[in-house]
Structures are given as structure tokens and as C-alpha cells.
Structure 1
Amino acid sequence: MSGFFSKQHSVAQPGYSRWLVPPAALSVHLCIGQAYAFSVFNDPLTRVIGVGSSASDDWKLTTLGWIFSLAIVFLGLSAAFGGKWLEKVGPRLTMFVAACCFGGGFLISALGVHLHEIWLIYLGYGVIGGIGLGLGYVSPVSTLIKWFPDRRGMATGMAIMGFGGGAMIGAPLSVLLMDHFKSAESVGVVQTFLVMGGLYFCSMMIGALTIRIPPPNWQPVGWTPPVVQNKMITDKHVHIDQALKTPQFYLLWLVLCLNVTAGIGVLGQASVMIQEMFKGLVTPASAAGFVGLLSLFNMGGRFFWSSASDFLGRKNTYFIFFVVGAGLYATIPSMGMAGNMALFVLLYALIMSMYGGGFSTIPAYLADIFGTRFVGGIHGRLLTAWSTAGVLGPVLVNYIREYQIGQGVAKADAYNVTMYIMAGLLVVGFIANLSIRPVHEKHHMKHGDFDELDGIYPADDAEH
């Protein structure tokens, strides 16, 4: 695509600082991270007609629950199918489309609330907004890795940390706007959607306009590529489609899926869980504080663990996630029975840090295994593991809990079996991670291969 948004026009000029790229990525991820805070709209949306209380024609929570589910499904689908397109057109155009979809999704949803047509909200925030989530999530990743070959983990951690922290901005902003716009005739959601759609579009456009890709053969001043001694880090490249033919892709898919499954299921029930396990000791307000603390560790873990992986190695970092995580999950039931709330909170905070770290470390892991050329597209396809875990985790926690209660188990003890199952899943993840080996050379791109997907690197870098 020619013009301002083309890949050729986004190549950095001499003197451009690579440290402008992380803020560009953050300006996108802090916006799309709002998805984790969408639940603040659930209660007001059940009172759109009744305003003060739900009317008979108002939407039910079960109906509204599909909005977030659709958004996560289309996040995974758009990342999987849009990743290859991203490698062809570059991050600037991809981020622009993400801004249009995510911001536009709010505007369509505002119309859906105004007309009281739920399908418009499904279409707006769920489908179109979900596409914006997926494209916005993957668009800066490969660019950051190419700008920071010396600190791959740290670079991706800086951006993906923003997704974990987006809810910390989105939740209070949503509440503030709804309080400002609400009246005797309105819950204020329509106006809030309109304002947030505009604000998020503008913020994401700042990222799209700021982002640049490095020129061919660029490397940081004073840095020379080290002689590859770690067999788990390649200096070769694997094409997106070829990556799907390797066992490493599916092992990494399993690694991400199991790590996320263990964390996301518990995260969704954290407030209820701590109140039921420490009945009478934890108020709803305290439980909300517990959830906020988990969000902080989720966000901080994204930066800490991905940065640490630059020194520990990606495989060793996931080794820690699975071994320590399994031990923590297996210990939690005894903490609940002993009534040790402080240690219970600490264990969950550590679990959430590794949950977030799993998201931010996986792009660098992919770059180590498959090379940097197509890491954005490969990462997009791997994110289908997130979509799978987003269904599997909550289902395991919720249905096992209901079954346990139905069998007469006290609510405080209804999570014990689930915790042991989560520990078991992490053991399986440990085995998958342990099984990962370097990609066989038959999958590597050969010298002189012409990459039709990459408009500015035709035969690309002589060493390739």
C-alpha cells in the first residue's frame, strides 16, 4: 500500500531514537487493555431502560456476558489471521486499522445502547472492537524485537505491560464518565461510549503516527550480534506458514495455553474466592482491593519476568513459571484451611505475576526459536491459545466449584480440587516446555529467498 501508512514510509530516518517505539506501543496497549475492565458496564447496562433498577425489558447479565466473550474470541481470530497481513503492510497501517476498529466499536455500541439493540453491541465492541484488540495487541511486537535485539524480553514486556495496566485506567475512567453523564433519564453509558471511543482512537493514533521500523541491517550503536552459543536462540528465520509445520509451534502453543488457563480462571473468581475461603473476615471492599493487588502484580510481572528472561533464558523462565506455579497452587488449599490470609494473598500475587509474565515472555521465546523476521505473524497465530484458555480456565473453575457445592462440599473448600487440577495442568506445561528443542534447519529460510510479504526487504539482509 502506497502513501503515508505504507511500510516503506514508516522506515526510521537517521537520528530516530528507538526509545520512541515503546511509548508508541504503550499508547496502543494501554487503550486495548480496557477490555479487562468492561465488566464495570455490566450493571449499568442492565438498567438502561429502568435507570434506577432493572426493568422487565432490560438486558440480563447472561446476555451481556457475551460481549466480552466475543471480544476475546475475535482478538484471537484477528491476531491469528491478521498477523501475516501485519508482516506485509507493517505496524503503522495495522495500528491505524486497530484504532479505527477499537474506537469505532465503542461508537457502534453507543448506538446499540441508544436503540436498545444488543446485536449492535455484539457487533460493535464484540466483533469490530475485538478485531481492534487483536490487531492492536500484535502490531508493535515484531517492531520492538527488531529495535531491541539486545533486550528482546524487556522490549516486549514494556508494551504488553500496558495491556495488563489498561484496566487500571479504563475502569476508573468509565465510572467517572458514567457518573458525570448519568441523570434521571439515563445511566450515562451512551455518552461514555462516545467519549471513550474518541479518546482511545486519538491515543492509538499517536502510536500509529509515532511508530517506525528500523532500516535494513540496523543494529544498536556499539552493539554487535553475539556469537550464538545458546542453541535455543537462532540467527535464522522461519516463514509464518512453515512455523505451523514444526512441533515447536504446538509445544509453545501448549505452554502458553496451560499457563494462561491456570491464571485466568482464578483471576475471574478472585473476589468471590477470597470471600468464601475466609468467610466473615473479608468484606466486598477488601475483596476488591485484593483484585486490584492481583492486577498490579499481573502488570508488574509482565515487565519483570520478560526482562529477567533476557538473562535467565526463555525456557528457564517458563521452567520457573511451571515448577513454582504448580507448587503454589498445590499449597493454596492448606493456606485456606489454616486461615493464613496474608500468605494466601502473597501466593496469589506471585501466581498473577507469572500469569502476566507468560504473556510478555512468549514473543521473545518465539523470536529465539523462529527468528525475528515473522515473529509478529507467528505470535498472532499463537494467541489462539489465549482464546482457548479464556474459555477453558473459567469453565474449569466455575463448573468444578458448582459440582463440589452440589456434592455438599462447603464453599470454603470447593476450590481445593480446582487448585490441584491447576497444579496438574502446570506439570503438563512443564513437560511441554522441557520438550522444546531448536527448529530443524530444514525449516529455515534459505539464503536469497525472496520474501513477497516484506515490501522493504526484498532479498533482505545478506546474512539471511
Structure 2
Amino acid sequence: MGFLDRSRTIAPPGWNRWLIPPAALSVHLAIGQAYAWSVFKPPLESAMDLTGTQSALPFQLGIVMLGLSAAFGGTLVERNGPRWAMFVSATCFSSGFLISAVGAWTQQYWLVVVGYGFVGGIGLGIGYISPVSTLIKWFPDRPGTATGIAIMGFGGGALIASPWSAQMLESFGRDSDGIARTFLVHGIVYAVFMSVGVVLVRVPAAAEERQVVRSAVNVSARNALRTPQFWLLWLVLCLNVTAGIGILEKASPMIRDFFAETSTPVAAGAAAGFVALLSLANMAGRIAWSSTSDLVGRKNVYRLYLGVGAVTYLVLALAGNASKPLFVVCAMLILSFYGGGFATIPAYLKDLFGTYQVGAIHGRLLTAWSLAGVLGPLIVNAIADGRKAAGKSGPDLYTASLFIMIALLVVGFVANELVRPVAAKYHEPEAEAVR
């Protein structure tokens, strides 16, 4: 497989670095389909007699595998290069759909869980981190903008996948055969689409990369785990994601519950539109806030995510049902901070640890996402269920969870304030970093 070797991806003289973001987007727009899994939930529940909890298993396992594969595969991604990583991602992600298609055809739901959740989840994790260090090396002058463009694709992938998947299910049918055909088409189309990135991606020539390496602190992934800075950023990412994903997962029922007891309740169609607005805010925040971080600094933009995010949650808790526009604007702002946190963290890692093994460090940090993906929805759903059982309704279902999110964001704000430059004892010798 010489084509995948890192040496075969070295850019020739005059290579246009602006070809790298489209290569990254071809992968991130594909794996961003994960945010559109809910489209498959109702037909799967009907065709295979599943509960809502059971139909969520592929998505939940996929997010867990994303964090684990990014953590354990990060060093391999750095060693073998972005083309190898994108190829592995495309193979796993597409194969996950093909295995799921077999599961739907044969009525074996465990194959859907293994295919989409386990195999596809590995593709999610490797694909998510595959372009990060390459983008940072190509764009040392604006790493936030570069990684924001790519990671924006993950947030926006559902805007393409959701209507596309829904249309295919309408065309093929919402029974097991129709679901299987839809999975099959997904697997084939995403394999072709992601292969564009595999072919297009390049790494900087040695002379260019050496200049970047010498201009920064360089810390290995192993040493990064020994620093307080890594664990402070792990906590910051985990808490910021927990706060955002709690609203994202519960968005449609939350806005309907908040205004259920008013004179103008929110209809199901309007609630669906609200979810689409949150997806746009999530996507826009990834490029807008990460680009802003190139101008104001990473610590300052995380002060915005965590500090203003806490204030915004307070407004929702105290006056969220006073006005629909107020509720929508606050929720969109929170989701823009959620997306921005993902897009800015690679550049923050580069500032602290250098470019030496930033992809591997980023992979290990994404275990925070695995925890937050479980923690955020658990907090919001468990409290809402408990309050409903106690006879509460409307905003009272969510007030306690909103105040918990405020507390988490305050803790994250303090953790961000404690971040300092990495001590010299953790640095790699310059000769090793250049090699």
C-alpha cells in the first residue's frame, strides 16, 4: 500500500495549501452524518420492534468509539500520516453502513449496532483527528481558522445527511428492506466522497515543516499526559460539551415544554425548525469562534464560551419562557459555543504543546467527549423524568438541570484560568522534534 505511505504524500514545490481544507472537509462532512442518526430511529423502531433506548445504541456506541479510537489511534495517525488515516476512516465508516445494511436485511439488529456503532465509530474517531495536525502545520499563522473550517464540516454534516437520508427512506420504504437499501447507498456514496480527501491530502515538505517545528514548544503525547495543562483542557472540553449537548439532544421537546402552558404553544414543525437553527449555530460557531481565537487568543475565547455560556444559561433558567425569540437566541448562542469549543481546542493544544504530536494529543483529549456525550443527556433527561413523575411541567422540568449546567461551566471557567505554559522539563529536544 505504498500509495498510503507518508512519504508519498509530501507536497511538491508550489503546492497550494488551500487544497488541504477541502480534503479535510470531504472526511468531516461525511462522518458528520452521525448527528443525523435520529432520522433512522423511528423506522428502525417500527421495523424491528425496538424501544427508543435500543434504537439509540448505535449512536451512543459510535460516540464512545469515536473518543476511544481517537485516543488509541492518535499516535498511529501521527506516525503514518493523514492519507493513511483518511483511508482507514473511509474504510471503517463505509463498512459500518454495509454491515448495518446486512443487519437490516436479515433482521439482526445486533449487526446494525456493531456495524454503525463499533466499526463505523472507529471510522468516526480516526477521521475526526486525521487532518488536524496537517492543517496546523500548513497554517501556523491561523490554526484556529484552518481547523475550524474542517471541524465545521462535522457539525454541518447532518444538514446534508438528514434530508438525504429521509428522502431515501421515503423512496425505498421505511421497512427493513428500505432501511437496508438506504444503508447500502450511504456506504457506497460515503466511500467515494471520502476518497477525494484520501487522494488530495498532502503534508508540508520537510523544510517548511522544520520551520514550523522550530518556532514552537514541542511536547510528545506521552509527556502531555503528565502535564496539568492537558487535564485542565480535558476538563474544560468535557464541561463545555456537557453543557451544549444537553440542550442539543433535548432541543425539540425542551422548547415545546417551555411554552406548553402559554397562549402560543410551539408546534411540532416549529420545534423541528428550531433544531435546524441549532445545527446552523453549531456549524457557524465552529468557524466563527475558532477564527476569532486567532485574533484574541485561545484562553480569551474560552472565557467567552464558559463565562458568557453560564450567563446565557442563567437567562434561560430565569426568563426562558418569557419570549420565544429570547429562548431561541440563547439556545443558538450556547450551541455556537459548543461547536466553537470543538474547533478551537486543536489550536489551543498547538499553542501549549506545539505541532510535534498534536494529533495524538488531540485524540487523547477527545475521551472527554465520550464522557460528555453520556453525561449531558443523562443530566437533562433524568431530571426532567423525575420532575415529570413529581407532577411538574413546563420550564420546571428543566430549571434544576440548567442550574447544574451553570455550575459546570463555572468550574470549566476556573480550569481555563489555571492553564499556564508547559514547563520546559516536558519539552522534546529540538533535534528529536525536527526528526
TM-score range (shorter-chain normalised) is over 0.9
Structure 1 residue 173, shift from structure 2 partner: 0.7
Two-structure CA RMSD over aligned residues (Å) = 1.8
Q: Which moved more, 1:128-137 or 1:113-122?
A: 113-122
Alpha-carbon distance between aligned partners in 1 of 2:201 and 2:168, rounded to the nearest angstrom = 30
Alpha-carbon distance between aligned partners in 2 of 1:134 and 1:45, rounded to the nearest angstrom = 25
Out of 332, 349, 358, the residue aligned to residue 349 of structure 1 is 332
- The one-letter code of the counterpart of 2:83 is R
Kindly indicate whether the alpha-carbon contact (under 8 Å) linking 1:44 and 1:187 is maintained by their aligned counterparts in 2: no
> Is 1:245 paired with 2:226?
yes
Q: How many residues align?
A: 432
> Is 1:284 paired with 2:287?
no
Alpha-carbon distance between aligned partners in 2 of 1:88 and 1:206, rounded to the nearest angstrom = 21
What corresponds to 1:172 in structure 2? Answer: 163
Residues 127-159 of structure 1: CA deviation (Å, up to 9, x unaligned): 000000000000001000000000100000000
Residues 54-75 of structure 1: CA deviation (Å, up to 9, x unaligned): xxxx233222211111100101
Spell out the pairing of 1:382-401 with structure 2 (5 A cutoff).
Answer: 382-401=365-384
**Could you list the runs of 5+ residues in structure 2 that have no partner in the other structure?**
none
Q: Secondary structure at the match of 2:217?
A: coil
What corresponds to 1:71 in structure 2? Answer: 62
Structure 1 residue 405, shift from structure 2 partner: 2.4
> Is 1:408 paired with 2:399?
no
Structure 1 residue 404, shift from structure 2 partner: 2.1
Point out 4+ residue stretches in structure 1 off by more than 6 angstroms. Answer: none
Alpha-carbon distance between aligned partners in 1 of 2:271 and 2:11, rounded to the nearest angstrom = 47
Alpha-carbon distance between aligned partners in 2 of 1:361 and 1:349, rounded to the nearest angstrom = 18
Residues 217-240 of structure 1: CA deviation (Å, up to 9, x unaligned): 3179xxx98xx9xxxxx8120011
Spell out the pairing of 1:399-438 with structure 2 (5 A cutoff).
Answer: 399-438=382-421
Alpha-carbon distance between aligned partners in 1 of 2:46 and 2:315, rounded to the nearest angstrom = 42
What corresponds to 1:142 in structure 2? Answer: 133
What corresponds to 1:214 in structure 2? Answer: 204
Out of 180, 189, 201, the residue aligned to residue 199 of structure 1 is 189
What corresponds to 1:319 in structure 2? Answer: 303
Q: Secondary structure at the match of 1:149?
A: coil
What corresponds to 1:115 in structure 2? Answer: 106
Alpha-carbon distance between aligned partners in 1 of 2:251 and 2:28, rounded to the nearest angstrom = 24
Residues 155-208 of structure 1: CA deviation (Å, up to 9, x unaligned): 00000000000000011110111111128x756111110011000011111101
Spell out the pairing of 1:228-243 with structure 2 (5 A cutoff).
Answer: 235-243=216-224
> Given the two structures, how large is their TM-score scaled by the length of structure 1?
0.90
> Given the two structures, how large is their TM-score scaled by the length of structure 2?
0.96
**Structure 1 residues 204 and 407: CA distance shift in structure 2, 3 A:** same
Give the percent of matched residue pairs that are identical in Structure 1 and Structure 2: 54
Residues 300-320 of structure 1: CA deviation (Å, up to 9, x unaligned): 000000000000100000011
Out of 293, 305, 329, the residue aligned to residue 309 of structure 1 is 293
Alpha-carbon distance between aligned partners in 2 of 1:281 and 1:59, rounded to the nearest angstrom = 30
**Could you list the runs of 5+ residues in structure 1 that have no partner in the other structure?**
50-57, 229-233, 452-458
What corresponds to 1:181 in structure 2? Answer: 172
Alpha-carbon distance between aligned partners in 1 of 2:97 and 2:45, rounded to the nearest angstrom = 18
Q: Secondary structure at the match of 1:46?
A: helix
Q: Secondary structure at the match of 1:4?
A: helix
> Is 1:153 paired with 2:144?
yes
Richer in helix (by share): 2
Alpha-carbon distance between aligned partners in 2 of 1:323 and 1:125, rounded to the nearest angstrom = 36
Q: Which has the larger radius of gyration?
A: 1
**Structure 1 residues 187 and 116: CA distance shift in structure 2, 3 A:** closer
What corresponds to 1:53 in structure 2? Answer: none
